[in-house]
């Protein structure tokens, strides 16, 4: 058995990504048990604080996606309870979780990111949706990609190829958040680069190339087996692979992240990478990208998760 003792996995929550979170938590629990770790899984509900106070874990692995799992809230509670956890601090989470803010930070570090505009729902109501949408197209051109400024799993996200498609995309986006990020769409190879830091500095795992069968990596493509083809490592040139790894590590560092992150990138036809967004609680399901990257690197997922927990426990 591990020297860790009692480990708690947080999974579930009340975000739109609850089911994905439960699957991530189940997978992490399985690989940790296989690595000899004593694991307990709990939901983030009213029983959590009393349970932690009654039996404090040596460390917590947060597999909550969206909302409180990634905006720093649950991590603030864990810090109030003096419980160490894997992952970024609350302040870093708040910055990374808000996509327009994260884009501004990485751009200030010199990283490429598609031109975009972030606008709240009230702006369209107050200024007139038609006039605002027309100006967005004039400024950014077509095609566009629309997504909520917060959240993940591509919920509320859609491709816009014509001006006529933009109003419906905005309505779909606002169903999942009050602010929309409208981004110039960059045609190219979509890859995801996971970063891990076991105490010796952040290291990029091999990039995973994403090829959805319908052309868009939406919720169904992400979590339905067979809807997306993955290549790990990605089919990139050595130069593009190195550039993507450097971008993911730079984003991890610029945003003040810790332990683990996953950066989504588009590589254009010239091999130039563009930062899209970063995830502070990467999915760990059977179809998630970090486990694929770990396998491509020849790293056992259970050993990796155990190492992250052991590192977190030293901060307790």
In whole angstroms, give the CA distance from residue 59 to residue 64: 15
Determine which one of 277, 302, 307, 310 is catalytic: 277
Determine which one of 279, 302, 307, 310 is catalytic: 279
In whole angstroms, give the CA distance from residue 28 to residue 7: 11
Determine which one of 66, 87, 151, 283 is catalytic: 283
Determine which one of 264, 274, 288, 310 is catalytic: 264
Closest among 240, 132, 260 to 190, alpha carbons compared: 240
For the question of residue 223 being annotated catalytic, the response is: yes
Tokens encoding 32: 């940790």
For the question of residue 17 being annotated catalytic, the response is: yes
Helix, strand or coil for residue 230? strand
In whole angstroms, give the CA distance from residue 91 to residue 256: 9
Closest among 181, 185, 112, 174 to 144, alpha carbons compared: 185
Determine which one of 18, 177, 262, 310 is catalytic: 262
For the question of residue 279 being annotated catalytic, the response is: yes
| Cβ contacts of 10 within 8 Å, gap of 6 or more | 25, 41, 42, 43, 44, 48, 60, 61, 62, 63, 64, 69, 74
| Cβ contacts of 47 within 8 Å, gap of 6 or more | none
For the question of residue 112 being annotated catalytic, the response is: no
In whole angstroms, give the CA distance from residue 43 to residue 12: 5
For the question of residue 27 being annotated catalytic, the response is: no
Determine which one of 85, 176, 217, 223 is catalytic: 223
DSSP summary character for residue 293: H
For the question of residue 70 being annotated catalytic, the response is: no
For the question of residue 242 being annotated catalytic, the response is: no
For the question of residue 165 being annotated catalytic, the response is: no
Determine which one of 13, 15, 16, 17 is catalytic: 17
Determine which one of 116, 149, 153, 192 is catalytic: 153
Active site amino acids: 17, 153, 223, 262, 264, 277, 279, 283
């Amino acid at each position: 058995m591990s020297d860790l003792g009692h480990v708690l996995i947080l999974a579930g929550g009340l975000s739109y990504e609850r089911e994905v979170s439960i699957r991530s938590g189940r997978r992490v629990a399985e690989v940790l048990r296989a690595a000899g770790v004593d694991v307990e899984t709990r939901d983030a509900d009213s029983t959590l604080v009393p349970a932690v106070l009654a039996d404090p874990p040596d460390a917590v692995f947060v597999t909550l996606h969206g909302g409180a799992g990634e905006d720093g809230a649950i991590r603030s509670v864990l810090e109030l309870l003096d419980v160490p956890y894997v992952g970024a601090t609350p302040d870093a989470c708040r910055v990374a979780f808000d996509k327009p803010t994260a884009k501004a930070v990485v751009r200030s570090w010199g990283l490429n990111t598609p031109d975009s505009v972030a606008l709240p729902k009230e702006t369209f109501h107050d200024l007139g949706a038609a006039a605002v949408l027309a100006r967005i197209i004039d400024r950014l051109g077509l095609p566009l990609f629309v997504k909520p400024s917060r959240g993940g799993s591509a919920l509320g996200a859609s491709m816009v190829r014509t001006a006529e498609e933009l109003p419906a995309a905005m309505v779909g986006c606002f169903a999942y958040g009050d602010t929309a990020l409208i981004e110039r769409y960059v045609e190219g190879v979509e890859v995801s680069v996971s970063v891990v830091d076991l105490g010796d500095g952040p290291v990029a795992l091999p990039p995973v190339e994403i090829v959805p069968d319908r052309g868009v990596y939406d919720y169904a493509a992400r979590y339905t087996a067979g809807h997306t083809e993955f290549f790990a490592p990605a089919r990139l040139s050595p130069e593009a692979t190195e550039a993507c790894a450097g971008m993911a590590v730079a984003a991890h560092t610029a945003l003040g992240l810790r332990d683990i992150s996953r950066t989504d990138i588009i590589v254009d036809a010239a091999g130039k990478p563009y930062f899209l967004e970063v995830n502070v609680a990467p999915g760990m399901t059977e179809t998630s990208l970090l486990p694929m990257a770990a396998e491509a690197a020849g790293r056992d997922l259970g050993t990796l998760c155990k190492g992250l927990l052991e590192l977190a426990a030293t901060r307790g």
